[in-house]
Structures are given as C-alpha cells and as structure tokens.
Chain A
Amino acid sequence: MKLPATSVFILLFLLPPVRPQAQLEAARSVRAHGQVNTEMIRIPAGKFQPFLLAADQKHERHVAAFLLGQHAVTNAEFLQFVKANPQWRRSSVPRLFADNNYLSQWAGDENIGNAAIRRSPVTNISWFAANAYCKWLGKRLPSLDEWEYAAAARPENADPGADLSRIILGWYDHPTPAILPAVESTYRNTLGLWDMHGLVWEWVDDFNSVMLQGGNFYCAAGSAGTANKADYAAYMRYAFRESLQATYTVGSLGFRCAQDIK
C-alpha cells in the first residue's frame, strides 16, 4: 500500500507542464510506466447542473479545468500497476481494500489469461485499487462533478437530434456481454473522451457523497425533477453509486484517472 516516496517524487517531476491551449486539443502525457500509455484530455472549465440538484438553479456547480483519461484503464494497463505494486496482487490485497472478487476475471496474480480482454476496461476493482492506481501515476480519480460534467458532452458527429440518453438507455437494455468490448469501441464525445457511457460504470472519487436514501428515493423516484429520459439515465448512475462501498468490486465497474492542471 505504501508508495515509495521517491517514485512519487520522480513522477511529479516528470510531469510535463500543461499548456492551457485550445479547449479540445488533447494534452498528451505519456509516462514511462511499462506499457501504461495514458493519453489525457484537457477538459475546459465550465458550469454544470448536478442531476440531483436539477430543480434548483442556484446550485449550478463550477468545474475547473482538469485532465481526464481518454479511455478507461484497461486490464493490460492495470497489470503493469500490479506488477510494480505487488501488494495489489489478487492474493495479497487486504480485505480492507477489496472484496473477494477483486480481479476475478484474471487467470492469476500477474496473468490476465484471456487475451481478448487485454484492451477491455479493467473491472472487478475496488475504489481503493482504482485510487491507488491513479496515485501511482501521480493522478487521482475524477470527482463526481467532474465525471458527470465531462460525460455530459455530446457524441462526436452525432445527428443533430441525437440524444445521449439513447446511448445510455441502449446500454441498459442489453445484458453484459461475456467478454467486455475493448476501450474506444463505443463513441467519442466532443471533448475527445471515449466510452463515457455504454461500456462500463466508472468509479468516481467521492461516490460516497450520494445520499439518496433519505426517504425521497424509493417511493418517490420521480421527485427529483421532471421524469425526462435524461433524468432516468442519470438516476441509474446515482442509484448504482449509492449501492456501492469502497471495497466492492463489480464486473461492469471500471475507472479512469484525472489530474489537476497546475
């Protein structure tokens, strides 16, 4: 669990200065971590209406500019992390940090096994594991607001009438395939991010800030604003986060890392 302080230091040292350039231009930050080659996209600052506060205009949130992984972390990328941090092996991870299904799709401690999932998003990882992976790269998990803000961007080249909720609800409508598709297999949004919806759920840093259960959640599910389709799609996400704990691992739950712009 404990990171060698020097490696963190070197990491930070290696970080290229991020140029605040054109909004949609990708800011590459390729790091010398085995095969981990993570392209980060610069997400411009902006305003964002959190779903659960939709009824109250005053609670529009400001999101500062930040970097977000172009795609979810893959099994192959996560393997590099496990090799470099043996305390995160399947057989070594303390139960405080991950439940029994941690990396259960892999063949062994440092063996993905099925080659077909190498480029699929890594799933069955706990919040702690995702958090540790991002830390290892000098990054962090995106906040719930950051994630929602970035995920709300429209699909690139979408029909003028196309609506994000169609992608989301379409994903809900189909059972999880036996082999998860590879990253960058669904759609890219106008920010340049791949698969924000329609491939896997994704951990966010403060998923445990969702507190829907205080009475207006089960019986009056429509109470948080109008029952439009976008609300429904978002409701599923918030309900999913609500049901999680940080040690849980789920076969359709992955993550991507974020980073501050300094």
Chain B
Amino acid sequence: MKKSSSPKGILQTTAVLLLAGFAMSLITACNQAGGTKPAPNDTATVIGEYTADLTHAPFVPVARNYPKTEKVIVNIEVVEKVMKLSDGVTYTFWTFGGTVPGPFIRVQEGDEVELHLSNNPNNKMPHNIDLHAVNGPGGGAEATLTVPGHTSTFSFRVLNPGLYVYHCATAPVGMHIANGMYGLIQVEPRGGLPKVDKEFYLMQGEFYTKGKNGAPGLQPFDMDKAIKEQPEYVVFNGAVGAASGNNALRANVGDHIRLYVGNGGPNLASSFHVIGQIFDTVFQEGGSEANHNVATTLIPAGGAAIVEFTCKEPGTYSIVDHSIFRAFNQGALAQLVVAGNADKVVYSGKISDELYQPGGAVATQEPADPAAPDLPLAERFKQGQQLFEMNCSSCHQSTGMGMPGAIPPLAKSDFLMKRSDEGIGILLNGINNEPIIVNGNHFQGVMPKLSLSDDQIANILTYVRNSWGNKSLVVQEKQVKKARNQ
C-alpha cells in the first residue's frame, strides 16, 4: 500500500483480496476438474485433539494414522541464536524451534492445525510463518506476524496431502530464510504412507557469510552475496557435517528408507542425489504422483521431495546436491552409513587392479607437490587454537592437561614432543587402543581419526606444540601432505 490516498489504498487491497479469492477458486476448480483425486473432505467434523510431537532433523515423528479428523496443536518458538555453521565458524541463526531446519510437523489430511508461534522475548526481529500447506492469504504469514515476547495463534485445515516447506515470511523475506528459518510439514494422506524401516528428515539451505568458506569466527550475513546468489555454504540440516561423520544417518542392509527432503533455499535449486543408490520411488515436489527408478531429483527452493530406496549393500553413502561443487567445496554433503553383510551379486567390490598401458609404457611421474604455502607460526597458532577448541579440547582440555588415567596430557608430553613426525601420524590415523606411555604414565584408549585437512592438522599441531610449556617449530602443511602420501 504505497503512497496511496485512502480510496486508492482501499482499492488496491480489495484488488489483492479479489485476486486471492480468484486464485483460490481456480484451485478448487482444478481439484474438481482434475478428477484424479476426490475433493478433499474439508468439512469433516473435528473429533479429538492432540499436541503434535515435533522432531528435529534428521528425525521424523511417527505417523499416527487415525481414522478421524483431529485438531492438532503445534507450538513453535522462534529463537535467534549463535550456532556452529562449520568448524571454527559460527553464525547468528534465526530458527524455528532452536534448530535449522525447524521442527518436522506431521499431520493428517483434513486435520485442523492450530499453530501457536511464539517469538522469544530476547529476539530482535518480528517473525511469522508461511506454511505451504495452508490455503489462505500469506500461508499464515499475515495471521502470525509476531513481535518479540508475544505469541500468535491461527488455525487452518490441511486440505491437500503432501510434503510442504514452511518458512518465515517477514520482510525482508530473503534474509529471514537465509538465516535458517525453514522446515517441513508432512500432510499424511488418509490411510497413511506404506510402512518403511527408517525415515529421515534432511533439508538443504545455503548461507551467505561475509567471510569466505572456512573463514573463522562469528560470520555476519552478506546481502550482496545473497542477491548475487553466491553462497559460501550449501549445507544439509543447518551446518557443515550436521548429517555426516558422527552425525551420519544410520541403517542396516535390507532396510527400506524414506527421506523427507526439503530445500529452504533461499536461492538455489537442489540436484538431490544419493551416490550409489537408486530411488525406487520419488514423490517429486512432495506431491502425490510417484515416479520410479530415479537417481537424481530436482528440488526447487521452497520445495520438497519424498524419496524411497532400499539399502542393498553395506557401506557409507554420500548424500549430495549433485551440483557437485556445492558438495565438495561448500558443504552439501550428508552420509548414510549402512551396516550388514555384503551381497557380492549386487555389488562385487574391486576385483582386480592391473596396469593399463595402451601403446607402450607411460613414463611414471612423481605427483607434483600441490601448492601448500608455508605460513608463519603465529598464523597457524591462531587458527590451530580455534580448531583445537572445536575438535580436541573436550578430551584433552583447554589446558592441555588431559584427564589423569583416561586422556593423556599434551602439555609437556614427552610422547608427543619426542616424535620424529611431530605427531602428524597420530592426527592422520588416530590411536586404536594401542597402549602408550606419556610422561611415565600408561594410557590405553581410542583417539578417533578426525576428518581434518592437511592444513588444519598443521595448524593444530603448531598450536599444540607451542602451548602449555611446549616449544617447537611451526608444522607446515607440506609436512602433513608428505606424511599422508607415505
């Protein structure tokens, strides 16, 4: 309603309402004319009431499957908070329910959903929620605009089954979404979906930070990059590594898996793919039509898909945005670890590896040493300190003292400081229950092999070997590279 005198302003509003009404009548008409689905039973009397169990990714609430139409109460609190975006990188996320993505809402076709949106009093911004499962102006946005310290309530009937994105739609919408305000609502068709063994919730989103990917510290939002659609991070479930490594999804051979996948955007469409799996079924765009035997499915920003597949072989499967630089350089990588026995009929594994020399011998060549610049001790020390705090300090303590009898000390550790490899081997390989003696004390335990880059290992060791009374030279990346290649 810009610059309008009263009559014009009113007319504009009226026009918008008329348009909305027209659009809605079109939708109704389509439903009826399409004929493939019965008209939704939106007038069914509501019988019963319950408060929805909400889950945080990667978990999905259990489908309740009830014969009647119920009133479902959904309580969501908006929280603005600093969380980890990547190792050593933090960000002020705006969240539904304290996580990115927001909680998974699962209701049943025809239900009346009563949504209570609370805006935490410590927040700065007004927020609201636009659920794509709503038939009505703004998807609920208008009804839920909420100032910090208040709760808004509205209710809606979920007339259309399917998987839908919800997001904050307070101006500027792009920024609210870019800060993490999105999640999924599954409107279960009557009768429910077929039973599967495991269900997971994944949601992709990109982050536009002032600093480049990996630049440490609390990173502010970068409007220019967001407008140019050039994110520094593209991630699943709100952070690099949120669904990989220790946080990987887990299943067993033979399990039938269903993934509810959303794409919060705000900008990029996702070429969603699980490396080494074929989706038996895809409900593309979260809709009702099942497509079969798909390897990569496109999920638009603000859209979703349900994919199903069966784990036939054990192993670790990478879940990626197949716009592949996003997976390898920006974080769009999740993992599914499948345990069980291999079936050589389905997948042989490597059978042999022989020389291949068409047209005579090829001169062997030492791989060129990739550029691994030497950095000054102070710089590696600073980066290393942050990495140490993120990765090591929970066991070895910030003081480097470890825990007597359980975790060996690093401070003045003869075991570490006398090693000819500066400790690189330990970080590359971990320690697997081999007994060691540190400063005369016996230790036996497991130190996990961390997924650290050569550069990061050099930083950590430089820090550790120059802290708490330790003193030595800087450890450079090329030393780590050399050790890794041996």
Q: Direct contact between A and B in the complex (CB less than 8 angstroms)?
A: yes
Contacts of A111 in B (CB 8 A): none
Q: Which residues of A lie under 8 Å from residue B224 when comparing CB positions?
A: 229
Residues of A within 8 A of B123 (CB): 176, 252
Task: Render B101-134 as a binary contact track against A, CB cut-off 8 A, 1 for contact.
Answer: 0000000000000000000011111101010000
Alpha-carbon distance between A241 and B124 when the two chains are bound, in angstroms: 12
A7 to chain B, nearest CB (A): 33
- Which label, helix, strand, loop or mixed, suits the secondary structure of the B interface? mixed
Per DSSP, chain A at the interface is loop
A173 proximity list for chain B (CB < 8 A): 92, 218, 220-221
A170 to B222, CA, bound (A): 10
Say if the beta carbon of A249 comes within 8 Å of chain B.
yes
A244 vs B147: C-alpha distance in the bound complex, in angstroms? 6
- State the CA gap A2–B54 with chains docked (Å): 49
Chain A CB within 8 A of B80 CB: yes
Residues of A in contact with B, size category: 35 or more
Closest Cβ of chain A: how far from B137's Cβ, in Å?
A: 8
Asked, given contacts A229-B223, A251-B148, whether A235 binds B172 with beta carbons under 8 Å apart, the answer is yes
Given the interface contacts A169-B221, A227-B227, A252-B124, does A56 sit within 8 Å of B147 by beta carbon? no
Query: Which residues of B from 7 to 22 have beta carbons under 8 Å from A?
Result: 9, 12-13, 16-17, 20
Instruction: Tell me which residues across on chain A come within 8 A of B81, comparing CB atoms.
Output: 175
B351 within 8 A of A: no
- Least CB distance from A39 to B in Å reads 27
A239 touches B148 (CB 8 A): no
Docked complex Cα distance between A6 and B72 (Å): 58
User: Chain B residues with Cβ under 8 A from A172's Cβ?
Assistant: 124-125, 175, 221
**Do A221 and B92 form a contact, CB below 8 Å, given A101-B121, A250-B149?**
no
A175 to B224, CA, bound (A): 22
- Report the minimal beta-carbon distance from B16 to chain A, rounded to whole angstroms: 3
Select the stretch in A142-150, A151-159, A206-214 that faces chain B: A206-214
| A3 to B40 alpha-carbon distance, docked (Å) | 60
A243 at the interface (CB under 8 A from B): yes
Q: A53 at interface (Cβ–Cβ under 8 A)?
A: yes
Inter-chain contacts of B122 with A (CB < 8 A): 175-176, 251
- Give CA–CA (A239, B148) in the complex, Å: 12
B9–A218 CB distance below 8 A: no
Q: Is B44's CB within 8 Å of the partner chain A?
A: no
Chain A CB within 10 Å, residue with most, of B142, B147, B150? B147
B437 at the interface (CB under 8 A from A): no
Instruction: Report the minimal beta-carbon distance from A204 to chain B, rounded to whole angstroms.
Output: 15
Q: How large is the interface on B (under 10, 10 to 19, 20 to 34, 35 or more residues)?
A: 35 or more
Question: Which residue of chain A lies nearest to B210 when distances are taken between CB atoms in the complex?
Answer: A173
B145 at the A/B interface (Cβ < 8 Å)?
Answer: yes
Least Cβ–Cβ distance between A255 and chain B, in angstroms = 15
**Bound-state Cα–Cα, A236 to B121, Å:** 17
Given A214-B16, A243-B126: A56 and B169 within 8 A (CB)? no
Asked if B145 and A243 make an inter-chain contact with CB atoms under 8 angstroms apart, the answer reads yes
User: Which A residues lie within 8 Å of B20 (CB)?
Assistant: 215
Known: A173-B92, A240-B147, A243-B126. A218 touches B173 (CB 8 A): yes
For A232, the chain B residues whose CB sits under 8 A away are 172, 175, 223
Interface residues of B in 171-192 (CB under 8 A from A): 171-175
Is the beta-carbon distance between A176 and B12 smaller than 8 angstroms? Answer: no
A111 to B474, CA, bound (A): 57
| A218 engages B126 (CB within 8 Å) | no
Interface check B64, CB cutoff 8 A: no
Cβ contacts under 8 Å, B147 to chain A: 240, 243-244, 248, 250
The CA of A252 and the CA of B124, in the complex, are separated in Å by 6
- In the complex, which of the residues A176, A211, A222 contacts B9, with contact meaning CB atoms closer than 8 Å? A211
Give the complex CA separation of A173 and B179 in angstroms.
9
Q: Which residues of B contact A (CB under 8 A)?
A: 1-3, 9, 12-13, 16-17, 20, 80-82, 92, 121-126, 128, 130, 138, 141-142, 145-150, 169-175, 218, 220-221, 223-224, 227
State the 7 A-B residue pairs at the shortest beta-carbon distance, nearest first: A215-B16, A243-B126, A173-B220, A214-B1, A239-B171, A218-B141, A221-B173
User: A172-B124, A213-B145, A252-B123 provided; 16 other pairs, C-beta below 8 A?
Assistant: A53-B2, A53-B3, A101-B121, A173-B220, A175-B80, A175-B122, A175-B124, A217-B171, A218-B138, A222-B174, A227-B227, A232-B223, A248-B147, A248-B149, A248-B150, A251-B148
- A interface residue numbers (CB < 8 A to B): 52-53, 55-56, 59, 101, 169-176, 201, 211-219, 221-222, 224, 227, 229, 231-232, 235-236, 238-240, 242-244, 248-252
